[in-house]
Amino acid sequence: MTGELPSWFIIASAFSYLCARVLDEMDGKQARRTGNSSPLGLLIDHGCDTYTAGFMSMIMMKIVQLDNFYICLTLMFTSFATFYLNMLEEYYVGEFILQIGNLSTDGSLMLFITFLVTGILGNNFWLVTVSINGTDIMLKELYFYIYFPVQVVVLTSLTLQTVNKCKEDRGQAQLRGGRKFELGPFVNQIVWVIMTPLIYFFVYYRVPEIDRTPRFDFTFLLHFLLIFVHITNMIIFAHITHSEYSPLNKIFVWNTTALIINALF
């Protein structure tokens, strides 16, 4: 994920992403206003958003020149986890309402600003080394060390918020098409999602035969993206069809097994 990028590309990416976010905020409201909203529209809208979350994370890694796979995978996971919890809340509550200061919409502004500043200064800016308490650290690594604790706090808060909202709104949620909240299935839905990056970390760092070339790193990230796209779209599909959702299924097992086999052989 290293290498210098032309400023015009980074600035174009910034404004393209901003336009995409603005239109994404408007399309659902317009569909409801004109009476054209549908379950299929919901599936396509949120389904495309899951791909966007992954690919924008990859573009972000390239722009700031992240070359630490551990950091790259962690950034992708926190991005996916935020969207996953939002979809899980919609599954239980029956509606998708984002509060002020959320990462899905308001957090996109920070991504736009990062892209824009990088385009102006050049992405080699992130290779600058600063000294903190006598320790030299690159700006790209400092960015992660600030970003990650904030994301952990946000994800923990979002999980607790989802649980509390589901408990307080049980009656109304079912009227809106939500599901009955039970702590056991909810924990299962969270635990298996957390297990996914842990399996990746284990395979990547514990298997000595693994090919750790940049191309293979990208394959790992892309595979990780597709697994999260699949399980997130499963939530959306379960919501619009009023069926039960569980992340542990044959496709999840096959994907994980294929990853390990691919790493070993």
| Mean pLDDT calculated for residue range 20-49 | 83
Query: Is residue 265 over pLDDT 70?
Result: no
Question: Could you give phi then psi for residue 136, rounded to 5 degrees?
Answer: -80, 135
Decide which of 250 and 166 is more confident: 250
Q: Centre a 10 Å sphere on the Cβ of residue 189 and count the other Cβ atoms it contains.
A: 20
| Mean pLDDT calculated for residue range 3-14 | 89
For the entire predicted model, the pTM comes to 0.82
Name which of 65, 52, 55 is nearest 143 in CA terms.
65
Residues 145-165 pLDDT 10s: 887 787 777 777 777 777 777
- Could you please report the per-residue DSSP string of 156-208? HHHHHHHHHHHHHTHHHHHHTT-----HHHHHHHHHHHHHHHHHHHHHHHH-T
Confirm if 169 and 93 have CB atoms less than 8 A apart: yes
Query: Is residue 244 over pLDDT 70?
Result: yes
Residues 106-131 pLDDT 10s: 778 888 888 999 999 988 888 888 88
Q: How far is CA 38 from CA 31, 42, 94, 104, in A?
A: 8, 6, 14, 22
Residues 164-200 pLDDT 10s: 776 666 556 555 566 777 778 888 888 877 877 777 7
For position 12, what pLDDT does the model report?
92
Confidence of residue 214 (pLDDT cuts 50, 70, 90): low
User: Could you say which DSSP state residue 126 is in?
Assistant: G
For position 176, what pLDDT does the model report?
59
Residues 46-66 pLDDT 10s: 888 888 888 888 888 888 888
Confidence of residue 209 (pLDDT cuts 50, 70, 90): low
CA distance 188 to 206: 26
Q: Centre a 10 Å sphere on the Cβ of residue 13 and count the other Cβ atoms it contains.
A: 22
For position 168, what pLDDT does the model report?
62
6-20, 127-141, 168-182: least confident range: 168-182
For position 8, what pLDDT does the model report?
92
Query: Is residue 84 over pLDDT 80?
Result: yes
Both tokens assigned to 103: 């990462």
Name which of 232, 245, 255, 1 is nearest 104 in CA terms.
232
Q: Of the ranges 86-90, 200-204, 260-264, which is most confident?
A: 86-90
For position 208, what pLDDT does the model report?
62
